[in-house]
Structures are given as structure tokens and as C-alpha cells.
Structure 1
């Protein structure tokens, strides 16, 4: 995949045809990517996809087998890890248990050569602790802090050396779900206030969608798609991305002039434009559950154009407050998932288990993907 860069500007970070092999294991495959100054970029993928290895190459902890990494015009190939203008925050936070909060934040600054003055170190540590709202805990040890507080200290330490590139490896994985959700936007606001370019590695799609300006989806060492969160979600370029990001209904068939011929539907599935896919090809049609409409009566074509519809029976319901997830079995035996707002039914009783219903969606809601 070629380097991608929003806005047409020269990338601040350039990853050029980078490969990494460990013996016969090819873990990063010809990755090229451009990242803008002050951008928050997420590398998203399942365990073993190569995203952490790519992050370690940026930090200098691994060396590319082939390819180049250029940051702000500087080729990092010969720059030792401790000399790189990068800093990495590990998933475990790696705080020194015997040091106080302020000494943990100051640690990297005290290793600088030439040495920084004591007053300069103290002033910068103070600024960092103020930034992450941890000044009042300056004299505490890590074991006296909550997980969220430890995360803030680790972030302050990573930012203290004023890196050009901040690398975050699963930064919120150690937190429980509630704290993780609260911390996501807080962390983004901190990074934006500092103005540092940031790359986040995560397997959590919600984390990537919430925090990142752009996302790169990786699988088997390959960068499959790069785009904004809405581009990745609404316009996936392959089946893996469509299924990995969010939930989707996937219908397999053959593309013809009338639509996609699929054994689950008596008539071809009507679709929008199918760029780059030729007639006669085996394809998949991805339809997000929130695009699937549920009704008791057979829906008709309206001003929105052709719709796809099929009769079925409700087999399962998950009530989630503001919306419910309906599982509907079609006559073919195929299950379709629909996300239905609770307000959809008004004062009427919603369908329940065993009820006959119709599922439908407008033609443009289906994304056609090559198989």
C-alpha cells in the first residue's frame, strides 16, 4: 500500500516499504504510510497482525529488514533508540516501583546528555504533572495509585522529554471498561494540548474509533486500509475490515447487471455503485445492522429508491436500553441482525420472539466487496 497523507502536505512521518522478518516469519509486509504533524493515528488489528512490531521499529527496538523510516526529514536507520526523538508508553506503564511519581517523570530527563540543570528538570516535571493533574500525588509511589493514575504518570513521563513522536502500545488495556471509556477522550485532549504527533497501537476498535484522526487496519502484517473512522466503518475496502470494524451482515453472491444474485433472496440484491468489481464476479454485500429496517408489514419502494426486503421470524432479541438487537431467520435459514431504536415502535408493542417480520434496507446501504 502506498503512503497516504491527508491534505496533500508532505508527511511528517514517512514509513517507506518497511518489511520485518524473524527467520521465515514475515511479520510486517511492505508497509508504506504517511502521517501528518500533530496527527493521532491508530494501528488497529488482532493479536499477531504486526502492529506492535511496526511500533517497535519506530521506537528503534527492532530494525526493519528492508525499507526506511523518516521522521521530520531525518532517516532513523542509524539513530539509536535512546537518541531518537520518540518516546514509547508501554501497556504495563513500566513505572519504577521504588521511585516517587515525580522521580518517575524526571527519570528520562536525568539521563539526558548534556545534563539538564536541576531547576530545569523540576520545572518541566511540574508542568507535566500539572498537565495530567497529578501534582498532588507527586510524592506517592506507583503502588499507592489507581490504574488510571498510573496511566497518567506514564503519559507524563513519556511527554517530559518533548518527543517529536509519541508511541502508545495498548495505552488503556490495563484499565477496566468504565475507566477506559472515561479516559479515552481525556487522553486525546491531553495529546492535542501538547501538540505531539501520536501513534496508538490497539486491538480495541472502539478505542481506535474514539481516539484517532485516522486508522490503519492491519492483518497478517499487511496494512489493508487507511482512512478516517467514518471512512473505515462506512466504506470498508475488503471483507476483513468490514467484519473487524463493528458488526455486519454479510451476504455472498454473484454480481450481475440486475444486482447481486444471492441464494438467501428470491430476487437479486439491489446495490449502489460497485467500483472496481466486474460483472460475473463472486462478491459479498456488507450491510450494517443499524441500516437494516424491521417492520411488521411488507415495506414498499419509496423515494429513496429500490429496497431489499425479505420475510423472516424473530429468533432472538437483546434489549440494550436505547436500542435492541433483533436476530431474524429468513426462509433460507440465513440469520439477519438488525439494530432497532427503542423509539421505533412508539406506543405499540415491539415484535417479540417467534413473530413474523420483514427486514429491509435501501440499495446504497450495502457495500459490495470482492471475495
Structure 2
């Protein structure tokens, strides 16, 4: 089982008052814990992503907030109010499901109006019509008000589902894999559109996703879950650039991980031909002789041409350098991914911009190269 040491879990978005507070929340199904000891503060108007692989507990956590699952332990406080005794239909939350759950026999307008018609005391018919018109205008679907869901594209259905979720003016919007039903091209276009709509309305939002790119693009902060517990909480930049453990480093993006033991300001590793220099404060502060890993993102690896047999010597203090050979190259237009092989056989990945080579031809598969990176670009991890 992975360790869980959340960072910043009790702090909301900087400068925003705490809107939702989760205290030691847990959910058990029989003898198995789906969610365990989760504590988290989410700020007002924040877009917060719960990110993790299938079965990590993120959807169960969202369903407990919505009132669709009863917690086994802990509390959920919205603006200081304990929601434990509040049934799902009376909570000031609204949930948009992955399937959108639109009623096929209703028009777009009737789908958006459905929740408003359930309110007690009843809303006047004219007020409902005005609110539906306002929501459809917000998501740019007024022209489709009389159509039925099956007559819409996936992206249009997603807009209608969002309009329905926002119609009752929830204090908390819950999105469960909201873009999963869209193909990749439309999903990328919709991410920014959805964020713009949420910000325009000014509602606090919790987004559940297994798509790291979606979380990094849409969220102010991300909580990474593994085996029912929070592993790390932070902004996309914090989590990507300063992961707190191997799980976070490997789950968000790609990374090169070198394992070894600490010798002063170096990591002696069988993965690398000589001890790796790391910067003070680059992640953890381990004792000498302790086990550790160094995470290095592919874009931090510099690749240089070299003639076979040339000595690889650091050009700057604190620089790590080694000979390597190009195993494979993936051309991606503006950059290429180099799969490299170090002298001991260890694989290494480098992401190199096309402009890096200038007027010279880049190295081909099988050619010798020199790899390097400055010590501060690596992040030292103790777990």
C-alpha cells in the first residue's frame, strides 16, 4: 500500500475563504476501504480536480459530497454547515454525470427546466422559462431549445447537461468525468470552454477525472488519490515540478527515476554511471546513507552530439553528464522524444525541441550522444 502524506491538504486556494471542508472522511464497503482518512479544504470559486486511476476512490468521494453515498467516518462541511443529515435532493450541490443522464423524451429546454420544476415552493412558470433561457444562452444552446438529446452532438449534449446542473444555482458543482464521452479533439476544445463557463458563473467546482492532461488544464489545484487516500495536493505546477513521492512523479507526466543512496550532496546509483549531483532543497532532505530516488522530467534532459569515444565531462559546476546512445526517436513536430540507453543499459527519455539542433542534423537512431542536466532540475524523493 502506498504511503499518503498530503501536502497542503488543509489549505484552500490562496486568498480564497474555505468553502468546503472535508475532515477525515472515509467510506468502507464490507472490509475494504474505498476512501480512507481524507482531509481537504477547497476555496470559494475554486476549480479542484480529484485525479487518480480507476478504483482509487475519487468517484466514491464525490458521491459522498453529493449525498449519494453515506460516509463510514468523518464530516463534510459546506460553509461550516455539516451535510451529514442533509439528503441528496436538499443539498445545495448539483452533479453532472459522465453519461450526462439527459432525458431522451424531453426537449433541451425541458431537460434544463426539470430540476427547477422540482423546487418547493414552486417557481412560477415564467420564472422557470426565464431561467432556462438564461442558461441556454450561457452555454450557447438557445437555438437548440426544441431539439431532443439524440439530435445533438456529444459536445452539445455536454453543454445541455452543464446548463441543467447550473440552473438551480448550486453552491457546489460536482463533475464526474464530464468530458470522457467526447473524442480527443473535441475534448481538448471543450476544456477551456467549460472552465470559462464555470468561472463566469462563479461556482465552486470539484472535477473527478483520470485524465492528467484534463486536470492540469482545467483545475486551480489537484488532489492525487491512490488506494483511497490523498497522496499530494497542490497546483498543477507544484505537482508537476515538485512531486512529493514516486507515485506523484510517475502519475503526472513522464519522468526518469534514478534509485540509489545518499552520499553528501550526491545520489550513488547503479542506474547512472557516476554519482548524481542534486541541489540542496530539491525535494526532501535525507540523511547520508539513506535510500532515495531522483525524478528528472524528460524536458530537463539536454542532448548533445558527440563522437564515439569522446570523454563526457561536466562543463559547469553541479552539472550531471553521461554518455548515451540513441535507441529510438519519436518525432512530434515541434519536438522529438529521444529514448536513450546509458552505458549500463539503463533507459532514459529526453524531450528535445526541434530548434535545439539549429542548422545541423539531429542525431539518428544508434548514434552516440552526451546527456546532461543541472542539479536543480532533479527532484529528490524519499518514498
How high is the TM-score relative to the length of structure 1?
A: 0.98
Report the Cα offset of residue 256 of structure 1: 1.4
Specify the alignment match of 1:330 in structure 2. Answer: 342
Does 2:184 correspond to 1:177? yes
* Structure 2 counterparts to residues 1-371 of structure 1, below 5 A: 1=6, 2-7=9-14, 10-274=17-281, 275-297=284-306, 298=312, 300-302=314-316, 305-371=317-383
Please state how far the C-alpha of 1:10 moved relative to its aligned partner.
4.3
Deviations 1:249-289 (A, max 9, x none): 01100011140000133321000125342221111100000
| Stretches of structure 2 lacking an aligned partner (at least 5 in a row) | 1-5, 307-311
Q: CA separation in 1, counterparts of 2:343 and 2:376?
A: 24
Note the alpha carbon deviations across 1:212-232, whole angstroms, 9 max, x for none.
000000000010111000000
The alpha carbon displacement at 1:301 in A equals 2.6
Distance 2:313 2:181 in 1: 47
Distance 1:9 1:179, change over 3 A: closer
CA distance in 2, matches of 1:299, 1:162: 63
Whole-angstrom CA distance in 1 between matches of 2:30 and 2:15: 38
User: Runs of at least 4 residues of structure 1 off by over 4 A?
Assistant: none
TM (norm. structure 2) is 0.95
> What is the CA–CA distance in structure 1 between the aligned matches of 2:139 and 2:21, rounded to whole Å?
30
Cα distance in 1 between the residues matched to 2:364 and 2:330: 11
Q: Provide closer, same or farther for how the CA distance between residues 166 and 141 of structure 1 changes in structure 2, counting only shifts above 3 A.
A: same
Q: Distance in 1 between the 2:98 and 2:276 partners? A: 45
Deviation at 1:77, TM superposition (A): 0.3
Task: Output one character per residue of 1:151-206: Cα deviation in whole Å (capped at 9) or x when no partner.
Answer: 00000000000000000000000000000000000000000000000000000000
Superposed displacement of residue 6, structure 1: 3.2
Q: Cα deviation per residue 1:117-141 (whole Å; 9 max; x = unaligned)? A: 0000000000000000000000000
> Could you tell me how far apart the structure 1 residues matched to 2:31 and 2:212 are?
30
Q: What is the alpha-carbon distance in structure 2 between the residues aligned to residue 19 and residue 115 of structure 1?
A: 36
Matched pairs, number: 369
SS at match of 1:128: helix
**Matched residue of 1:7: which SS?**
coil
Deviation of 1:9 after TM superposition, in Å, equals 5.3
Q: Distance in 1 between matches of 2:89 and 2:264?
A: 59
In the alignment, structure 1 segments of 5+ residues that lack a partner are none
- When structure 1 is superposed on structure 2, of 305-314 and 341-350 the one drifting more is 305-314
